[in-house]
Amino acid sequence: MADAPERRFLFDGAARSARSGETLLAALTRGDLPRLQRSIRYHRPRAPVCAEGYCTGCLVRVNGRPNVRACRYVPSDSDVVTTENSWPSPRFDMYGAFDYLFPRGLDTLHGFRRPAWATRAYHRVIRRLAGFGRPPDATAPIAAKLPAVRTSVDVAIVGAGRSGRAAAARLVEAGVRPLVVDRDLDPAPVPGADLLGRTTATFLPPPGPDGFTLLGFQEPDRGVEVLARRVVLATGAYDASLLFGGNDHPGVLTADGALGMRDASGRPPFRRAVLVGGDARADAVLGDLAEWVEAVVAPGPIQPGLVRRASDEEIPLYPRTLLLRAHGRSRVRSVDLRARGGGTKFSLDCDAVVLAHRRLPTPQLFFQVGARMQWHGGTGAYYPVLTDSLATTVAGVFAVGSAAGFLGPASVESGARAADAVTDRPASDGGALARVPAEGPSELEGYYRELWREPRSGKWVACPCEDVLLTEIEEASARGYRGMEVIKRYSGVGTGLCQGRYCLPDALLVLSMLEERPPSDVGYITQRPPVVPTPLAAFAALASTDRPPEAR
Amino acid sequence: MSSVARPSYRVVVVGAGIVGLYTSLHLARAGAGPILVIDRGFLSSGASGRNGGGIRQQWETPATVRLARESVAAYRRFGREFGYNPWFRQGGYLFLAENEAELAHLRRVHALVTSEGLPSQVLSPEEVARHIPGLAPGAVVGGTYLGSDGTLYPFPAVWGVYEAVRSLGVEVAFGVEAQGVEAREGRVRAILTSAGRLETSAIVNAAGGWSAEFSRRAGLSVPNTPTRHEILATEPMKPFLDPMVARVSDGLYFSQTMRGELVGGLTLRDGAGVAQGMPSSARFLTEMSRALVRLVPRLGSLGVLRAWSGFYDDTPDGFPLIGEDPRQRGFYHANGFGGHGFMLAPATTLRVARAVLGEPTDLDPNLFAPARFLDPRRPAPVERLQLG
């Protein structure tokens, strides 16, 4: 890579360079966690968390276009990149004073009502705080002048991970050429299949008479419309977030984020992280990042494989431990911990917290298409109801891989089995595949119950995209509002850019505790399209008529 | 699972949206006796939790203008009255005309609105462009604007009225469906619900998109039709647009919320009723995006964050049904708002409550009385400004 040509761009007025093909985030990271954004309400310092295009930690303005995710953008020569939503800079932002002025939060639901004559001034101030970036420049190029991608296929596969690839390979064997859609910026080819990379399937409505219409978004600007007779959903899983004090401080990363940033720039943006998690995922992450991990902390027990690996690396283990708080407003510098069951509180110095404690399925398309979903208490997530041949309750939609609850070898096997069902071949071997347990409760439910008895310090951010504090959820509940849908409307939790990907799973457990009923009774938020923010121009390029429908 | 506290009530209101809640508020304030509000869903699950929050006073008939003006006054004092801040921002309402015929229509509205004492303006294309930064050249021939119109957050308004009625002793039961009405000698005796039979002498049908279905279950034919309308929100931006913008030709409307999101919709006629549920459609996402980008090209790179839908409760003449149904004494309509329930609720529900209490109202029966559709010879004014 060293001899690859460099791209030169301007970052807040300074000349920077990126290796060819490297993302903007990787170019700005260079071993240290870049500080690119401030949070939407309190202007708290934020840094990238997920490095896969969902969190708000890497939004920048590129050539007059706001909200470009640096982790998903490959810079070109002479790009002009600027940070937004802070003054004078993301590292030192005057608006950050709001965070200190309102230590218990800004109550926009009940506050700012008096005196009447101040109404306009309140409106002006609050509007100015909102929003991540300025609107697009009039001159911002809209590459969606590119024609949209429109294609019609027999079988579309969403996701080119292990299970999606296994499904594709088996279909190819059977003489079917599927179209595989994948979010990866540069996915490896799928032999015998068509592949659309950099493409997120954002909307899969229930089928019409001619089959499915899958809308997608190929970054940075292109609209994608795939007509398909059958759809295999292999949307995968992701590392969830966790509630603790200062859980939004720069340096708190999901394992996806830590690995993604390591892959993009060669080493992770930390030196001594606390790795959170005790099962196979944490084990795998430790295998990749051991050199930069200071300690392993798990909400529950730690599985033997991980114990062995940590011992080999001489990394201390803290099983069944509460993570109380991360200190370090502009960069994590330590965490407060307490052994569950009433141990004494202690601290560990660290420069990052890597969350690998809970891997959740990516369920949006299942909900959108109308597949019946089932609560799996062990994971604390919804999975599609499936037949033995992995058909969902919507005819023509199949579910494979971790999104459907098949992990490890079962994941690959599920892909092949769904492909057999798609091509009406008898299943090679009968019997149900091993799936994540439906029985609950998850370890985290007991964990949160215990955590709730602890005194709290610092802001606990329940929804980082919208800066909704945990206390706001508790207040809504105390006022008698019940159910996820109502609490979402009351507090705003889950209405931000990640569409609830990171906040809802925890909010569901919290509400289950507060409402004293199982999480599945608390409900779930309707999964609204699009799955990721999609430029208006990309959708516009897919409009079927030249003019909007005629006037009333 | 869901149940109610008493076997009988003075009034049962069907629908805990803004119209039903406000109606029960006026009734409770007048000391009407035990009041129950039932709703088949959860609080804010219907159109009251799904609308774009537009509040305007530009209408085609003086009666509607006056009701709207009263509602604007109510929302201005809402925060101080109810303890919740709906962030009612009077950034104006800007109607766009794409041709001379539409502009002539808007001029007539303007003439009426100004005759009611509201300072609306007719704008040239240049003046329109000053309100919409980045407006495509040649996109409009003009428009009308009224600065005291505006937008609000529907949710805090719902919470505020909900908590107010509860503190006045009104019972609100969710997950309870209205299934029918028991009447004798043309008079309401009881309402049949999923929580059982409840004796009452007054039922208010404030069920929004589901009102026609409930009226029919009560044996009353009504001309209301629920129509699905979709809406989308973009990523939040720093403030750049003050007014709510609404286009006459296709009902395109959008405004920028306090949070910075652009929220808007477009009228698509696909004939979907309540039975089809409330899904979003690819057609809406693409047509709406195209309409917005054509009108304001610079928005092209802005991300669509989410889309959802809800029901308008439309009537053939564009006026709501307000008051008692002459075919069944004790059955009151507070429906048919055609997507404007939120903006008209505070004022219209006061009339509904008066009707329930047997007091005279100042509403023109030709425009609002539920009986108007029963008389084929009546004069038939129509409210066509149904957008935004």
Tell me which of A125-129, A461-465, B25-29 is least confident: A125-129
- Asked if the Cβ–Cβ distance from A221 to B301 is below 8 Å, we say yes
Range from A144-148, B127-131, B208-212 carrying the lowest mean pLDDT = A144-148
pLDDT at B121 over 50: yes
Enumerate the residues of chain B whose CB falls inside 8 A of the CB of residue A40. Answer: 236
* Cross-chain Cβ contact A142/B301 below 8 Å: yes
Weakest-pLDDT range from A101-115, A233-247, B18-32, B164-178: A101-115
The answer to whether residue A149 neighbours chain B at the CB level (below 8 Å) is no
Q: Which residues of chain A are within 8 Å of residue B290 when distances are taken between CB atoms?
A: 539-540, 543, 548
Q: From the CA of A5, how many Å to the nearest CA of chain B? A: 28
Query: What's the rounded mean pLDDT across residues A115-123?
Result: 95
Task: Please tell me which residue, A384 or A432, carries the higher pLDDT value.
Answer: A384
Confidence grade of residue A263 (pLDDT, cut at 50, 70, 90): very high
How many Å is the Cα radius of gyration of chain B?
Answer: 21
Given this model, what pLDDT does residue A550 score?
35
Query: Shortest Cα distance from A483 to chain B (angstroms)?
Result: 9
The Cα B368–Cα B225 span in angstroms is 16
Topology, domain A6-129: Ubiquitin-like (UB roll) (3.10.20)
The residue-averaged pLDDT of B320-348 equals: 97
Do B301 and A534 lie within an 8 Å CB cutoff?
A: no
Average pLDDT over residues B342-366: 96
Q: Which residues contact A358 (CB under 8 A, 6 or more apart)?
A: A239, A240, A242, A277, A379, A380, A442, A444, A505
State how far residue A549 is from chain B, nearest Cα, in angstroms.
7
Lookup: tokens for B333: 């309509």
- Superfamily designation of domain B8-49+155-224+317-374: FAD/NAD(P)-binding domain (3.50.50.60)
**Helix, strand, or coil here: A99?**
helix
Average pLDDT over residues B286-314: 94
Distance CA A316, CA A290 (A): 12
- Evaluate whether ipTM surpasses 0.90: yes
Q: What is the pLDDT of residue A549?
A: 38
Give the residue from chain A lying closest to B83, CA to CA: A110
Shortest distance between the Cα of A20 and any Cα of chain B, in A, equals 24
Which of B163, B280, B287 has the CB atom closest to A548's CB atom? B287
- Does B43 contact A at CB distance below 8 Å? yes
Which segments of chain B does DSSP mark as H helices, in order? Answer: 18-29, 62-76, 78-82, 100-115, 125-131, 154-167, 211-217, 282-295, 341-356, 365-368
- Residue A197, token pair as written in the block: 């990379």
Kindly tell me if the per-residue pLDDT of B381 is higher than 90: no
pLDDT at A548 over 80: no
Multiple choice CATH, A144-237+360-422, 3.90.1650.10, 1.10.630.10, 3.50.50.60, 3.40.50.720 = 3.50.50.60
pLDDT digits (tens, 9 = 90+) for B148-171: 999 999 999 999 999 999 999 999
pLDDT per position as a tens digit, B241-283:
999 999 999 999 999 999 999 999 998 866 555 566 668 899 9
**CB interface of B with A, residues 222-261, below 8 Å:** 234-240, 248-252, 258-260
Concatenating the DSSP letter of every residue in A281-297 gives HHHHHHHHHGGGEEEEE
Report the residue of B225, B293, B301, B314 to disrupt the A interface, i.e. the one with the largest count of A CBs within 10 Å: B301
Distance CA A212, CA A151 (A): 12
Check CB contact under 8 Å for B298 and A140. yes
- The whole-number pLDDT of residue A1 equals 44
Asked if residue A25 lies in contact with residue A51, where contact means CB atoms within 8 angstroms, the answer is: yes
Q: Which residues of B touch A489 (CB under 8 A)?
A: 44, 49, 155
Nearest residue to B161 via CA among B221, B84, B238: B84
| Whole-number pLDDT of residue A138 | 81
Check if CATH label 3.50.50.60 holds for domain A241-357: yes
Report the distance separating Cα A201 and Cα A182, nearest Å: 8
Identity of the residue numbered B330: G
Contact A110 B259 (CB under 8 A): no
Q: Is B292 on the interface with A (CB under 8 A)?
A: yes
Q: Which residue stretches of A290-408 are H helix? A: 304-312, 364-369
Measured CA to CA, the distance from residue A67 to residue B259 in angstroms comes to 15
Contacts of A550 in chain B (CB under 8 A): 250
If you average pLDDT over residues B107-117, what whole number do you get?
A: 98
pLDDT digits (tens, 9 = 90+) for A189-224: 999 999 999 999 999 999 999 999 999 999 988 999
B309 contacts chain A (CB < 8 A): no
* Chain A residues whose beta carbon lies within 8 Å of the beta carbon of residue B259: 130-131
Q: Is the pLDDT of residue A547 over 50?
A: no
Whether the per-residue pLDDT at B118 is higher than 70: the answer is yes
Strands of A186-341, DSSP E: 194-196, 199-203, 212-218, 222-233, 237-239, 252-254, 273-276, 293-297, 317-318, 321-327, 334-339
Cβ–Cβ gap A536/B234 under 8 Å:
yes
How far is residue A81's CA from residue A87's CA, in Å, rounded to a whole number? 16
Find, in chain B, the residue whose alpha carbon is nearest to that of A66: B302
One-letter amino acid identity for A47?
Answer: A
Residues in chain B with CB shorter than 8 Å from the CB of A544 are 283, 286-287
Pairwise CB contact (< 8 Å): B289 & A544:
no
Task: Please report residues of B whose CB lies closer than 8 A to that of A526.
Answer: 308
Is the Cβ pair B85, A109 closer than 8 Å? yes
Closest chain A residue to B288, measured at CA: A540
Give the start-end residues of each E strand in A2-104: 6-11, 14-19, 37-38, 45-46, 59-62, 65-69, 80-82
Domain with CATH 3.50.50.60 in chain A: 144-237+360-422, 241-357
- Which chain B residues have a beta carbon less than 8 Å from that of A142? 297, 300-301
Contact check, Cβ <8 Å, B85/A110: yes
Q: How far is CA B361 from CA A65, A281, B11, B68, B368, in A?
A: 54, 68, 19, 16, 11
Chain B, 202 to 221: residues with Cβ < 8 Å from chain A are none
Asked whether the beta carbons of residue A127 and residue B287 sit closer than 8 angstroms, the reply is no
Please tell me if residue A142 touches chain B, with a CB cutoff of 8 Å: yes
Domain ranges (residues) in chain B:
8-49+155-224+317-374, 89-148+225-314
Query: Topology of B89-148+225-314 in CATH?
Result: D-Amino Acid Oxidase; Chain A, domain 2 (3.30.9)
Mean pLDDT of the region B281-302: 94
Chain B interface includes A106 (CB < 8 A): no
Residue A176's pLDDT is 97
Please report, rounded to a whole number, the percentage of residues in chain B having pLDDT higher than 90.
90
Instruction: Point out the residue among B84, B236, B279 whose CB comes nearest to the CB of A132.
Output: B236
The pLDDT, as a whole number, for residue A146 is 66
pLDDT of residue A429: 63
Q: How many residue pairs from chains A and B have C-beta atoms closer than 8 A?
A: 205
β-strand B54-55 against B150-151: which pairing, if any? antiparallel
Is the CB of A128 inside 8 Å of chain B's CB atoms?
Answer: yes
